[in-house]
Structure 1
Amino acid sequence: MPTTTSDRTPLLENWNGARPRSFRCRISRMFRRGAGPSWLASYEWFILGSWLNVLLVFVPLSVAAYILDWDAALQFVLSFLAVLPLSVLLGRATDELSYSLGQTMAGLLGASVDNIVEIIVGVSALLRGEYRIVQTSLLGSILSNLLVVLGCSFLAGGLKYPESSFQVTAAQTSSSLMTLACITLVIPAAYHNAFQIEDGCTRPDCDILAGLLAISRGTAVLLLLVYMAYIFFQLQTHSYLFKSSFVENVERPQMNMLAASSALVLAAVITSFCADYLVASIDETTTRYKVPKPFVGLILLPIAGNAGGWITSVWMALKKKMETTIVICVGSSIQVAAFVIPLLIIIGWMTHHELTLFFANFETIVLFVSVILVNFLVQDGKSNYMEGLMLIALYLVIALAFWVS
């Protein structure tokens, strides 16, 4: 039987083994289902369907704070609280669209929507020349998904069940791609340090920057190609590796297709404004209140962007659907490392912003050890609460290190 609304993930396809429909059938099916729940019922469920939506009251407050030029810290807090429920709503709208689009088309949409907050924040910071915020927020999103979201999921599942299992091959493939993306972020740092040591810091900075830009832009194109191949691998040739063996009762969609589409666009537009206000207040807030800017980018911003995935991942772990949890956590990290970061590099290239893949040595080491730990924990295809505690502990140590940086 098909899965429930909360159980479906865009990157999982054909769970019920049904014969794939043709593109024409899917299009006609979409419009037939557009006559499902009414617009009023759809939006009523969309707005009132989660207790977290009470935070939507901060959306108009964040707009007022920006227009009236309130204190920078207040602008930051209000915009931060506004982005939290918006990230959840984006996920809910995408989930509802998968009823009509089918898992393959929904997967392609979800590949962008799952990390749309990171993309919006990244583009906003990039166009403002805040390269450090771009880098740390994206790195923080990877670490947040790999350590705190996956750790909380392992912990929640481990407290309910002695041990949970998942498909080893799929998990290892995902973690291997994550390792590849991590290595591509290490190479620019190694390049930068090598020339500084070999040349005794005599090489002009412009020459080093030109080399870093060439490496970063070439790597970005290659990573995007690898990511597209991974999507094809996951959705078509090896989709059976990502199926969940645990299914539940049928549940009808709560929104019609047109309402879900409009809700997705509306939430994305509102998120773009709130994210822009959030980024605009960072510089003054960190300067006036002595908050380390890397801590804001690496720890605080990913909390807002990953709120939706965090809730869904823990819920799936409690229902012993660990394949879905792995896809949400590791899959989202792969999307950031192999899709969002290269995308922003190319956007910077097109808009004449010199964004590179060169991260500070400390940040590179933190990412590398985090990926190694996750690889060790998923290689046996089992999880328990102790593994969750280890991931959360590492994340707290990293947060402490960036707070005192």
Structure 2
Amino acid sequence: MPNYRSDFVKHGRGKGTGNLSREDMPPNDDQGDGQADSGNERTPLIDRSNGKPLYEDERAWVRWPMNFMHLTWETLSSNYVNVLLVFVPVGIVLGALGMDPTAVFVVNFLAIVPLAALLSFATEELSAKMGQTIGGLMNASFGNAVELIVSIVALRKGEIRIVQASMLGSILSNILLVLGCCFIASGVRREESRFNETVASTMSSLMAVAATCLIIPATLYSSLSDSTADTEKNILVLSHGTAIIMLILYCLYLVFQLKTHTKLFDAESQEGTEDQAEILGPIPATIALVIVTVVVAVCAEYLVDSIDAIVEKSGISKTFIGLILLPIVGNAAEHVTACVVAYKDKMDLAIGVAIGSSMQIALFLTPFLVILGWIIGQPMTLNFEGFETVVFFLSVLVVNYLIQDGKSNYLEGCMCLGTYIIIAIAFFVYPEDSNGKVGGGMVKRFFAPN
């Protein structure tokens, strides 16, 4: 979420000299010229004649290429997961040549992980220059950009099941998998951790509203199962209206967070966090954001194209791919850093990312995709399958119970992880040809005696 993500990235970046401001750098040792020269010889971007970095050279023909190399290196070294960038060109080549779908899926699957980290990095660098309000809106828009790009690609191809499963899977992975790992990471070092229960309660309440928005279309579908009315048309009308209301609620939440109740969300910053020097300026950050977004879209295109072949070849359902595998890819780098933050007992940051990101997907990305489907002529609705709707509701219920006291421990983390593993197993055995809509037959079977 807007305020939390900025502090979150501060705690999550690696400890390299590239992340220190000029004032924080250790002073040069002037005891001997030989020692200073020796240090400069080991630094390729330093002009040995005056000890000045080449990217600050007065000659433009030297400064510009050296500055490009310097910014590129600082960006790539911002996260250890960027070593996986080697899979990006390989995945694109495999997809362009139409190679084995399994290889295309796996390689592009791995390629999206570092791209998601770079996208988050560029967003933070750009939003840091724009103030709290605009920066918050930037983070709200691009915080889950990978999931959004993959879903838009799938929606354009008519893969509505992939879109719905991906949205729901991203929510479940954040509120169960990530939150559970954060509770365990914090609990291994201390008996009990505390966080701002007011903020957590506000976020979880909005998640409950989002769950309600999914239950109502499923219930209406069940009520209209024996009706002569055009069920699909009525569900579309309900979904479009509900999506608009959800987007309005999300905008009101941004106003609540960024304007009217900012003090509630500033608890972590009031405790004091270390300053983090920005690496990229507005123009380089914008260029990086555009380039990474385009590359993610290309990798997502090949990833989605290979899903049908993966389903036929392996027997794994589209629901499992969209609900379990894709969300882990899109948030892998962020998930690891969330656990590191929780290990340091920065639970407000961890809670803000885990639950805040889920709320963003539920109240912003999902209704946005419904409206986008309306615009491009794809019948994207909020009528998720009955089993998925029940799983979502129960997961939100469990998390609400766990965070309502503002305290956590490792046992609560294990509860979240256990719930997520059970859900993953259930969707792994969930058949692709199952009609999981909440119709009269499903309800009768559910309540029928064994």
TM above 0.5, one fold? yes
- Which of structures 1 and 2 has the larger relative contact order (alpha carbons within 8 angstroms, sep 6+)? 1
The structure 1 residue matched to 2:262, chosen from 239, 250, 273, is 239
Q: Which amino acid in the other structure matches residue 338 of structure 2?
A: S
Contact preservation (8 Å) 2:8, 2:349: no
Q: C-alpha separation between the residues in 2 aligned to 1:309 and 1:276? A: 22
Give the corresponding residue for 2:273.
Answer: 248
Change (3 A) 1:194 1:111: same
Q: C-alpha separation between the residues in 2 aligned to 1:239 and 1:8? A: 23
Q: C-alpha separation between the residues in 2 aligned to 1:379 and 1:233? A: 20
Contact preservation (8 Å) 1:76, 1:278: yes
Contact preservation (8 Å) 1:3, 1:247: no
CA RMSD of aligned residues (A): 1.9
Q: Which amino acid in the other structure matches residue 327 of structure 2?
A: P
Q: How does 1:335-374 map to 2 (within 5 A)?
A: 335-374=360-399
The structure 1 residue matched to 2:422, chosen from 387, 397, 400, is 397
Q: C-alpha separation between the residues in 1 aligned to 2:189 and 2:280? A: 32
The structure 1 residue matched to 2:74, chosen from 29, 34, 45, is 45
The structure 2 residue matched to 1:380, chosen from 386, 405, 428, is 405
Q: 2:186 aligned with 1:157, yes or no? A: yes
Q: Which amino acid in the other structure matches residue 161 of structure 2?
A: R
Give the corresponding residue for 2:10.
Answer: 6
Q: 2:128 aligned with 1:128, yes or no? A: no
Give the corresponding residue for 1:117.
Answer: 146
Give the corresponding residue for 2:232.
Answer: 209
Q: C-alpha separation between the residues in 2 aligned to 1:224 and 1:96? A: 26
Q: C-alpha separation between the residues in 1 aligned to 2:277 and 2:161? A: 44
Give the corresponding residue for 2:311.
Answer: 286
Contact preservation (8 Å) 1:3, 1:251: no
Q: C-alpha separation between the residues in 2 aligned to 1:8 and 1:95? A: 12
The structure 2 residue matched to 1:312, chosen from 337, 347, 362, is 337
Q: C-alpha separation between the residues in 1 aligned to 2:329 and 2:410? A: 25
How far 1:6 sits from its partner (Å)? Answer: 1.8
Q: C-alpha separation between the residues in 2 aligned to 1:336 and 1:159? A: 30
Q: C-alpha separation between the residues in 1 aligned to 2:274 and 2:160? A: 47
How far 1:3 sits from its partner (Å)? Answer: 6.0
Give the corresponding residue for 1:28.
Answer: none
Question: Identity rate of aligned residues, in percent?
Answer: 44
Give the corresponding residue for 1:334.
Answer: 359
Q: C-alpha separation between the residues in 1 aligned to 2:70 and 2:274? A: 22
In structure 2, stretches of 5+ residues that fail to align are 1-5, 14-62, 431-450
Contact preservation (8 Å) 1:38, 1:255: no
Q: Which amino acid in the other structure matches residue 321 of structure 2?
A: V
How far 1:357 sits from its partner (Å)? Answer: 0.5
Which structure has the larger Rg over C-alpha atoms?
A: 2
Change (3 A) 1:330 1:386: same
Contact preservation (8 Å) 2:8, 2:341: no
Give the corresponding residue for 1:324.
Answer: 349
Contact preservation (8 Å) 2:108, 2:303: yes
Q: 2:103 aligned with 1:74, yes or no? A: yes
Structure 2 counterpart SS, 1:160: coil
Q: C-alpha separation between the residues in 2 aligned to 1:193 and 1:3? A: 45
Structure 2 counterpart SS, 1:356: coil
The Cα offsets for residues 152-181 of structure 1, whole Å up to 9 and x where unpaired, read as 111111112221111111111110001001
Give the corresponding residue for 2:57.
Answer: none
Contact preservation (8 Å) 1:4, 1:249: no
TM-score when normalising by structure 1? 0.88
The structure 2 residue matched to 1:137, chosen from 158, 166, 171, is 166
The structure 2 residue matched to 1:303, chosen from 328, 347, 363, is 328
Contact preservation (8 Å) 2:79, 2:117: no
Q: C-alpha separation between the residues in 1 aligned to 2:187 and 2:10? A: 20
Q: C-alpha separation between the residues in 1 aligned to 2:341 and 2:259? A: 23
Q: Which amino acid in the other structure matches residue 284 of structure 2?
A: A
Structure 1 counterpart SS, 2:224: helix
Q: C-alpha separation between the residues in 2 aligned to 1:49 and 1:252? A: 12
How far 1:311 sits from its partner (Å)? Answer: 2.2
The Cα offsets for residues 9-42 of structure 1, whole Å up to 9 and x where unpaired, read as 9xxxxxxxxxxxxxxxxxxxxxxxxx9x944322
